[in-house]
Amino acid sequence: MIGIREKTILSISVFSFFFAAILIAGSLIKEDSLYVELSNIFAPPGGGHIFGTDWVGRDMLVRTVKGLSLSMKIGLLCSVASSLIAMVLGVAAPLLGGKVDIFISWLIDFVLSIPHTLAIILISIACGGGLQGIVIGVTATHWTSLTRVIRAEVMQIREAEYTKLSRRFGKGNLFIAKEHVLPHIIPQLVIGTVLIFPHAILHEASVTFLGFGLPAHEPAIGVILSESMKYLTSGKWWLAFFPGISLIAVSMMVNSIGKNIERLIDPKTAYR
Amino acid sequence: MKKSTRKFLFQRFFKLITLLIALCVVTFILMELSPIDPVTAYVGASTKVGAEQRALIAEHWGLNRPPVERFMAWFTSILQGDWGTSMIYRRPVLEVIGQKFLSSLALMGIAWILSGIIGFILGIVAGIKEGKLADKLISAYCHILISTPTFWLGILFIMVFAVQLGWFPVAMSTPIGVLAEDVSLLDRLSHLVLPALTLSVLGIANICLHTREKTADVMRTDYVLFAKARGESSRSIVFNHVIKNVSLPAVTLQFLSFSELFGGAIFVEQVFSYPGLGHAVVQSGLRGDLPLLMGIAIISLIFVYTGNLTADILYRVIDPRIREEVKA
């Protein structure tokens, strides 16, 4: 028998393994394994092609894995970048206080008051589309909630005895941030980064689907799905179904990893 | 009380103004950075317009003046109610937005109410049965929905309900080849069902999970324990204790979801080719219609802000705890 905590750890490791496997497998797939096979176009799922084949006979499973790994890389980049922004702003706001704090709160409200999709579209247009636009767009819209969490946390640390004592000893903001604040917020940061990821990957796929993200020749999951729209009414359901399900599976997997880490770190919930 | 409310409203209004000005500046900078050439977007791919005429158009629009001067010109005309002319619809931006917003509003309104009611009921059921099968099923359903991209759900619904079963039309808001005045209400409704359903299904997850948490909290309180000890039935516990405590946060959350609602509408309208504001966003973005895009950005901010403000006001007006706090 394994305990509750071990079960949580096991689930984290299994999902992380899957995550890494898709990431690596997708990166290893070269362009030539996506060969065109015109004698076998629109093959329904089953037989040699589990996910079926597309309009030029390419295997949908291979395309999906490759698309997923590309989307996952973008998602990783975006979530790490947004949590870095959240860390800097979330720590700076309470420590510097006053006008800086008001400004950062206002900035959060500003980003939250434009629908994310619209903001990403605007930024993506400004960058002329492509990878750069989508990374900046997703990063610029996803740091807000984590910043709020960290800001609230740091507000408490700021009022703690040891922080006040440290300040009386003449230590500066930088010292306090590094020695007293950062060690406390690392768990929040890790969980936050993991939990931003599903949102980032979904937004990336969505905006690419609309045609503002990655260009149509990239093997991204959003591109595959927007392609499938063309064959929707002719009953080629597998073109949209499997890539979509895989995307949902990945984002749920990461969500579960994040939630489980959260449970493990908090002793109140680790054994529940 | 009166005075504090006035101060509160004034603060909110002031904040809205700062946000709007910031939005204007940011969108202007973003559009300035974009490689879209407004003249090319205006004349289209036509080769009949020579370089000389292009220069004339640019001159006429003042494109060769410095950015700050152009921003001020654009900003003052926005303030005066002249939002420019949409390049793809060839009509004033405000007129286009007004018309599109109305049809989006029908879609978003239905989805908003549906998702609120269904999510609230599911959340209460799950919260009361915390840990039981019903709770697990509802929670699992919500967790799947949270990870589902809106557009994919739309595709799925089209595949199942429109293509396979043939219950609803695939796209558009009216039948093709029918004059606008001949379109019956039934036609309009049958075109609205699938998009509204798609949009509402995604809103359910959020409100449901939130209500579930709150309901479970209420069920653990002493007063519910006492009510049980008194022999109150679950039905009366729900109506007397749970709903009273849970409904306000749920309603506020629903008002705070305007931003996601608008974002979802963009995808739903794109997938179903529903001619609303979201569809206009995508079209104007893809075809470089900057005046319309900037106009929609401003409108969307006001829309989202109205939702947030309503949530704030609801809290202050309805919740006696916050009301008393304000008084004191």
Give the whole-number percent of chain A exceeding pLDDT 90. 22
Q: Which of A113, A122, A228 sits opposite B27 (nearest CB)?
A: A122
Q: What is the DSSP letter of A128?
A: T
Q: A-chain residues within 8 Å CB-CB of B164?
A: 235
Written as one string, the DSSP assignment of B79-114 is HTT---B-TTT-SBHHHHHHHHHHHHHHHHHHHHHH
Tell me what pLDDT residue B113 has: 92
Mean pLDDT of B45-57: 70
The strand pairing partners of A53, in sequence order, are A59
Across the interface, whether the CB atoms of B34 and A114 are under 8 A apart is answered no
**Confidence (pLDDT) at B32:** 80
Q: Which residue of B has its CA nearest to A123?
A: B30
Give the whole-angstrom CA distance, residue A60 versus residue A66: 10
Residue A55 has pLDDT above 70, yes or no: no
Q: Are B304 and A244 within 8 A, CB to CB?
A: no
> Which residues in chain B are contacts of A237 at CB distance < 8 A?
159
Cα–Cα distances in angstroms (integers) from residue B67 to residues A123, A126, B32, B42, B63, in the given order: 18, 15, 8, 19, 8
Lowest mean pLDDT among A248-257, B71-80, B128-137, B246-255: B71-80
Q: Report CB contact under 8 Å: A211, B282.
A: yes
Is B21 a domain residue? Answer: no
Rounded Cα distance between A161 and B280, Å, is 55
- Answer whether residue B126 is part of any domain: yes
Chain B residues with CB-CB distance to A252 below 8 A: 143-144, 147
Query: In whole angstroms, what separates CA A254 from the centre of its chain?
Result: 9
Q: Give the helix/strand (H/E) hosting B323.
A: helix B320-327
Nearest CA in chain A to B265: A117
CB contact under 8 A, B155 and A229: yes
pLDDT range class, residue B12, cuts 50, 70, 90: confident
> What letter would DSSP give residue A38?
G
- What does the pLDDT average to over B73-95? 81
Contact B266 A232 (CB under 8 A): no
A227 chain-B contacts, CB cut-off 8 A: none
Check B147 against A198: CB less than 8 A apart.
yes
Mean pLDDT of chain B: 82
Instruction: Name the residue in chain B with its Cα closest to that of A195.
Output: B147
- Least Cα distance to B274 among B161, B197, B166 occurs for B197
- Which site among B152, B257, B269 would you substitute to test the A interface, given the most A Cβ atoms closer than 10 Å to its Cβ? B152
d(C-alpha A207, C-alpha A200), whole Å: 11
Could you read off the pLDDT of A88-140 as tens digits, one per residue?
999 999 888 889 999 999 999 899 888 888 899 889 888 877 788 889 999 99
Cβ atoms within 10 Å of B279's Cβ, excluding its own = 22
What is the domain range of residue B183?
Answer: 93-327
Tell me which chain B residues have a C-beta less than 8 angstroms from the C-beta of A247: 149, 152
- Residue B246: what are its φ and ψ, rounded to 5°? -95, -25
d(CA B130, CA B217): 10
Average pLDDT over all residues of chain A: 84
Residues 6+ apart with CB under 8 A from B45: none
Q: Which residues contact A162 (CB under 8 A, 6 or more apart)?
A: A180
Please indicate whether, in this complex, the C-beta atoms of B300 and A233 are within 8 angstroms of each other. Answer: no
| Number of cross-chain residue pairs from A and B with Cβ atoms under 8 Å apart | 128
* A225 lies within 8 A of chain B by CB: yes
- Say which residues have a Cβ less than 8 Å from residue B296's Cβ, sequence separation at least 6: A118, B97, B277, B280, B281, B284
- Interface contact flag, A115 B304, Cβ < 8 Å: yes
Determine the Cα angle at B164 with ends B163 and B170, to 5°.
20
Is-contact A244 A226, C-beta < 8 A?
no
For residue A170, give both structure tokens.
């003449």
Residue A49: predicted pLDDT: 67
pLDDT for res A9: 87
A193 and A79 Cβ atoms separated by less than 8 Å: yes
* Structural domains in chain A plus CATH codes: 4-25+59-265 (1.10.3720.10)
pLDDT digits (tens, 9 = 90+) for B112-167: 999 999 999 999 999 888 888 988 999 888 888 888 888 888 888 888 887 667 67
| Nearest CA among B127, B174, B266 for reference residue A119 | B266
pLDDT band at A217 (very low <50, low <70, confident <90, very high): confident
**B47 within a domain of the structure (yes/no):** no
pLDDT band at residue A42 using 50, 70 and 90 as cut-offs:
low
**CB distance A121–B259 less than 8 Å?**
no
Neighbouring CB atoms inside 10 A of B18's CB total 12
Total domains in chain B come to 1
Pick A26 or B149 by higher pLDDT.
Answer: B149
Amino acid at A183: P
- Specify the 3-state DSSP secondary structure of B289: coil
Residue reference for tokens 């901010």:
B301
> What is residue B187's predicted lDDT score, i.e. its pLDDT?
67
Could you give the CA distance from residue B288 to residue A215 in angstroms, rounded to a whole number?
16
Q: With 80 as the cut, is the pLDDT of residue B46 above it?
A: no
Q: Are B300 and A114 within 8 A, CB to CB?
A: yes
> Which tokens is B11 given?
């603060």
Q: Tell whether A125 lies on the interface with B, counting CB pairs under 8 A.
A: yes
Q: Please report whether residue B221 resides in a domain.
A: yes
- Give the tokens for residue A150: 């960290």
In a domain, residue B161? The reply is yes
- Nearest by CB to A252, from B31, B144, B296: name it: B144
Output DSSP code: residue A43.
P
The CATH number of residue B154's host domain is 1.10.3720.10
- Is residue B81, in this structure, part of any structural domain at all? no
Q: Give the DSSP H/E element, type plus range, for residue B317.
A: helix B290-318
Distance CA B89, CA B177 (A): 20
| Greater pLDDT, A26 or B101 | B101
Q: B156 vs A240: CB contact, 8 Å cut-off?
A: yes
Tokens of A247: 């995307």
CA distance A177 to B151: 42
Is residue B62 a part of any domain in this protein?
Answer: no
- Look at A118 and B159 and tell me if their CB atoms are within 8 Å: no
CA dihedral (A230, A233, A236, A237) positive or negative: positive
Q: What is the pTM of this model?
A: 0.85
Confidence band, pLDDT 50/70/90 cuts, at residue A59: confident
